[in-house]
Structure 1
Amino acid sequence: MTTSVVRGGTVLSVSGAHVLDLVMRDGLVTSWCALGTVTAADEVIDATGMHVAPGFVDVHTHLETVVAGISTADDFVTGTRAAAFGGTTTVVDFVRQGPGEDLLERLQDAGARARGRCAVDYGFHQIVGDVRESSLAQFEKLMAAGVPSIKLFMAFPGDLYSDDTQLLNAMEHAAGLGLTVMVHAENGLAMEFLRRRARDRGHVSLPWHARTAPPAVEGEATRRAIFLAELAGMPTLYFVHVSSAEALDAIADARRRGLPVFAETCPHYLYLDVAELDRPWEEGTDFVCAPPLRTREHRDRLWWALSAGDLSVVSSDHCPFCRSTLFSPDQRDFSKLPGGIAGIEYRVPLIYDAALRGRLSLSRFVDVTATSPARLFGLSPEKGSLEPGSHADFTILDPNGVTPTGAKDHHMNVDHSAFESVTLRGSVHAVYLRGQRLVDRGRWVGPDDLGQFLHRRPGTDLTSGVLRPATTA
């Protein structure tokens, strides 16, 4: 048995910061000991002057998938390596079921493509893009396969869209089984009307992407999803990529009533502005996402909600596309673009920078990027913390470092950086997965295929208070 100790660093947790000896044995954290008291160790990892955080957990990624007929730029190989360079040791990716497709066949296909090709541990959520009885009948098998969360879309009529009847039906089935329901909350029919009218009037430039998806359509859909979930018996409800004050108001109201409603936002909504869409087409397409970027007033509300607790998670919503795939003449129409921003590698550095600048506490930084994501999606106690018994996944962060954000600085398979104008304090110094080093001072030193599939438990201990272990297979 091999014993390692991380010494001299400040260990970050939701309870605070602790200077101690972090002891690990055979891929697990075994104990926290007083600084310098562990003498019998096979390896001592010097973290003096550094922050030692749990391996970070990203529960919203889109790797090796197709959106609007275009493949995302990162597959499981490049995307999970980029995640590790950014300090993330666990990702939960989305499996897409489109109209007419079988849920379990899509899940099996994704599992086969990911197996042996992931640098970090991984799990799946299932997108239910075709709510029909045969799909609903497979929910129990999804849970048995370790996928206890589904995603429903209130946007994109003709593709992934579910109407209120379908939403209510799926939510009832989910509530009965203990599945978590994730929702993309935008009023798709209203957006389609606004987009069609804009196109009819010749408005196809990038700013119209945001003008045809105003905050009101997100706020209305968020309130309606909560209403439908209550009718359905209230499954655990999780809103993805929240971008607006209107949606935040609906979520805060539900949480004040004690409902199991949770939400995430993403770094691009915290750092970027809708004015990015005013750039020339070749640059502005880098900033097309759904929901669209908002004004500074909405960004300020998101930061406040993140600090106050109405937002529980920061995920990347990594959905990367290269500029070179977007410029055929018939695509110079905002409504034909695939939406997505590359951020799997920058998520942790961006929020760490905010903590170093005092916008969030260090404990809150760890909570929203590691601990709460793991607890919400059936990955704790192994993931998301460094408590004894957890996996020895940890990231050493240098508060005195600098993270460059230019197009040539990252390891994501994209030809641009949406965050190139942001100067980030702090940097990722080293990354370990189950005690094995993957990244050391910007160099890849680990195996490319160490990642294991995570069979997640249903429900969330943030509402039940019960910790049940996830398993690896």
Structure 2
Amino acid sequence: MTTLIRGGTVIDSDRTHRADVLIADPQDGGTILQIDRTIEPPDGAKLVDAHDQYVMPGGIDPHTHMELPFMGTTASDDFYTGTAAGLSGGTTSIIDFVIPSPKQPLMDAFKEWRGWAEKASSDYGFHVAVTWWDDSVYRDMGTLVHEHGVSSFKHFMAYKNAIMADDEVLVNSFSRSLELGALPTVHAENGELVFQLQKQLLAKGFKGPEAHPLSRPPQVEGEAANRAIRIAQVLGVPVYIVHVSAREAVEAISRARNEGQRVFGEVLPGHLVIDESVYRDPDWTRAAAHVMSPPFRTSEHREALWRGLQSGQLHTTATDHCVFCASQKAMGREDFTKIPNGCGGVEDRMSVLWHEGVNRGRITPNEFVRITSTNAAQIFNLYPRKGAVQVGADADLVVWDPAATKTISVKTHHQKVDFNIFEGMTVQGVAMHTFTRGAHAWADGELRAQRGAGQYLKRPPNAAYYDAVRVANKLKEPHPVER
């Protein structure tokens, strides 16, 4: 049946207005059919009251790791539980990461992840990591772009002796991305420095979680971000820096953008609100639960991230959702380098950002929509199917109550993990209803997510970015010398 959301205020990235929204039944496409000041309910339509509430595009989390095999174990949230948790918090699409093992063909890894993701309850796409290089990787990148709608590739500059991409891999993969019109994304940490610092700390007897941030100081992130950006500049390719956590990385992005380079930055809500003191918690289990890379940092870095969002130098918010239970984190009890890296957040991202951003005057509601949905849709070429409240778009919508509150707790969350990094935080601004392609997946506290209802999102190359890049590169070519 059709659904009529009545009496709400529509907040889009560029407009706020009072309107009813009529959405189609999922069986009939699940798109937005009509937006008007007043809409007469069609016969048999379901009515959702949105008076004193906002109607916004569903959140897009462009950085998740559902059921990721990593560091000797597998993330505890799978594609069903993770996407269902996201729906309860207003997130209606994710872009996850296919991460091939060293020497594993990209297409083999992609097929594995596609199989795991068939259980997803919301729509999903993929970035594919380039963890090694030969002619087969070159060919598989083309197949992924042209046949499977993968238009972004991931590069880990950290995790030496595992999935780290050295400069040779970066240059080859960035160059191939330019040929294909795909967007390179980068985890920016100097993997060699991290590796050496880890060895030094272990040799000095530092084995607990408190050593984790010491092995990954802000400078290792700043150096790697700047290096990736300058490699991209030389090759003439756009680049997207994931989970920016340090002032030095923000400055590298801002500097490049001020020079006219097309660089995008992503930030996590945890890095905006959590202090590095969590690693010194006397309870080892609580401290280890916060181990992720890059680590949480001091207030100077958190303020730099907020300024980056406010100034438009940072563009998206994600979660890097990759959760491990206490028994899994305990694998590193005697060696902090063996604690599986990852934290949660797919369920809480929207509320934390609204509470700390909108309620504290740091960002406007329209800017909130941009950084939680629209920008990701545009950067990763899902717009306007996703990221907008407009006729013809997918009815991925959240009805948001700015006055409602909740206290985040592991006792009530839907994520399949026994810890929540936002435990005890009371937030004002909550998803009351969530629709995914017209299906009512979250209804005032009731989770109705359907296993396998999610669809795979093909993302063609973003021609607008690459047309501009190719023109700029052509203009930079040297003129022939007349003789």
Normalising by structure 2, we get a TM-score of: 0.92
Rounded Cα–Cα distance in structure 2 between residues aligned with 1:222 and 1:445: 41
Rounded Cα–Cα distance in structure 1 between residues aligned with 2:11 and 2:226: 35
Rounded Cα–Cα distance in structure 1 between residues aligned with 2:10 and 2:369: 11
In 2 relative to 1, CA 140–442 (structure 1 residues): closer, same or farther, beyond 3 Å?
same
Partner SS for 2:411: coil
Greater shift in the superposed pair: 356-365 or 366-375: 356-365
Answering whether residue 424 of structure 2 is matched by residue 435 of structure 1, we say no
Find 1:215's aligned residue among 215, 218, 224: 218
In 2 relative to 1, CA 47–274 (structure 1 residues): closer, same or farther, beyond 3 Å?
same
Q: 2:132 aligns to what? A: 130
Cα pair 2:208 2:333 within 8 Å, conserved:
no
In 2 relative to 1, CA 462–165 (structure 1 residues): closer, same or farther, beyond 3 Å?
closer
> Map of 1:43-442 to 2, 5 A cutoff?
43-115=46-118, 117-143=119-145, 144-234=147-237, 236-279=238-281, 280-328=283-331, 331-353=333-355, 354-442=357-445
Rounded Cα–Cα distance in structure 2 between residues aligned with 1:446 and 1:215: 39
**Unaligned residue ranges in structure 1 (runs of 5+):** 466-473
Any idea what the Cα deviations from partners look like across 1:416-456, whole Å, max 9, x if unmatched?
11101421112110111111101111112343222111111
Partner SS for 1:15: coil
TM-superposed deviation, 1:37:
4.6
TM-superposed deviation, 1:462:
6.9
Rounded Cα–Cα distance in structure 1 between residues aligned with 2:465 and 2:170: 24
Q: Counterpart amino acid of 1:71? A: T
In 2 relative to 1, CA 6–265 (structure 1 residues): closer, same or farther, beyond 3 Å?
same
Any idea what the Cα deviations from partners look like across 1:187-217, whole Å, max 9, x if unmatched?
1111111111111111222221111111111
Q: Counterpart amino acid of 2:140? A: Q
Find 1:454's aligned residue among 439, 454, 457: 457
TM-superposed deviation, 1:40:
4.1
Aligned length: 460
Rounded Cα–Cα distance in structure 1 between residues aligned with 2:116 and 2:330: 29
Partner SS for 2:3: strand
Rounded Cα–Cα distance in structure 2 between residues aligned with 1:232 and 1:46: 52
Q: Counterpart amino acid of 2:7? A: G
Q: Percent of aligned positions with the same letter in both sequences?
A: 35
Partner SS for 1:370: helix
Rounded Cα–Cα distance in structure 2 between residues aligned with 1:11 and 1:357: 21
Greater shift in the superposed pair: 57-66 or 129-138: 129-138
Rounded Cα–Cα distance in structure 1 between residues aligned with 2:15 and 2:450: 32
Cα pair 2:87 2:449 within 8 Å, conserved:
no
Greater shift in the superposed pair: 242-251 or 437-446: 437-446
Greater shift in the superposed pair: 100-109 or 125-134: 125-134
TM-superposed deviation, 1:464:
6.5
Rounded Cα–Cα distance in structure 1 between residues aligned with 2:74 and 2:394: 33
Cα pair 2:53 2:402 within 8 Å, conserved:
yes
Alignment root-mean-square deviation, CA: 1.6
TM-superposed deviation, 1:254:
1.0
TM-superposed deviation, 1:311:
0.6
Greater shift in the superposed pair: 420-429 or 242-251: 420-429
Any idea what the Cα deviations from partners look like across 1:330-373, whole Å, max 9, x if unmatched?
63221111111111101111112121332211001110001011
Q: Counterpart amino acid of 1:245? A: R
In 2 relative to 1, CA 461–433 (structure 1 residues): closer, same or farther, beyond 3 Å?
farther
Q: 1:17 aligns to what? A: 16
TM-superposed deviation, 1:232:
2.0
TM-superposed deviation, 1:15:
1.2
Cα pair 1:168 1:231 within 8 Å, conserved:
no
Rounded Cα–Cα distance in structure 1 between residues aligned with 2:212 and 2:39: 59
Q: 1:471 aligns to what? A: none
Partner SS for 2:99: strand
**Unaligned residue ranges in structure 2 (runs of 5+):** 469-483
Cα pair 1:349 1:403 within 8 Å, conserved:
no
Q: 1:468 aligns to what? A: none
Rounded Cα–Cα distance in structure 1 between residues aligned with 2:378 and 2:173: 23
Partner SS for 1:255: helix
TM-superposed deviation, 1:265:
0.5
Cα pair 1:260 1:463 within 8 Å, conserved:
no
In 2 relative to 1, CA 43–461 (structure 1 residues): closer, same or farther, beyond 3 Å?
farther
Q: 2:6 aligns to what? A: 7
